[in-house]
Amino acid sequence: MECENCYGYGYFKCRECAGYGMIECDECYGEGRLRCNWCYGSGRDGECIHCSGSGYSDDGWSCIFCDGTGKDECLSCNGKGYKDCDDCDGIGVVECNNCNGYGKLRCRECEGEGKVKKECPECEGSGRKLF
């Protein structure tokens, strides 16, 4: 007989990921990147060696090496101010643990078959009608 629990589909859509198989990354909250801890997201760290941290060149103009900030480009994030999230490889989503990325959960009643065996009341499961 058709399984009444899953209506013959054999599977249910995973509620955790809404059937997509992927969920938002907990580490970066779906951004795919994390603020650099070394420069706190500024992209700059340490005193500029060309202007000694003043932000100005010898001729009084804004230092072209540090853009007048007085700080060098952060080596940890290459001046971006962020790093790609390691947990999600920078894409912002990870595989759903509830369904292992499948997006569906197997029906326990029919074991994913969509049909269940029930003993026929007329033949008592023998396959032949009793008189």
Look at residue 118 and tell me whether its pLDDT is greater than 90.
Answer: no
Determine, yes or no, domain membership for 92: no
CB neighbours of residue 99 within 10 Å: 22
Structure tokens at 129: 């009608």
Note whether residue 91 is domain-resident.
no
What is the predicted pLDDT for the residue at 101? Answer: 92
Phi, psi (rounded to 5 degrees) for 130:
-90, 145
For residue range 32-41, list pLDDT tens digits in order.
999 999 888 8
Residue 130 has pLDDT above 70, yes or no: no
Asked if pLDDT for residue 129 goes beyond 70, the answer is no
Residue 95 bridge partners (DSSP): 22
Range of the domain at 80: 33-84
Does residue 50 lie in a domain region? yes
Verify that 27 and 45 share a domain, yes or no. Answer: no
Domain count along the chain: 2
24 and 37 inside one domain: no
Q: What value does the mean pLDDT take over residues 61-80?
A: 89
Cross-strand bridge partners of residue 82 = 35
Same domain, 56 and 14: no
Q: What is the pLDDT of residue 127?
A: 64
Distance, CA of 81 to CA of 44 (rounded, Å): 8
18 shares its domain with 54: no
Query: Is pLDDT of 96 > 90?
Result: yes
Position 89 in a domain: no
Domain shared by 39 and 78, yes or no: yes
The answer to whether residue 90 is domain-embedded is no
Mean pLDDT, residues 51-79: 89
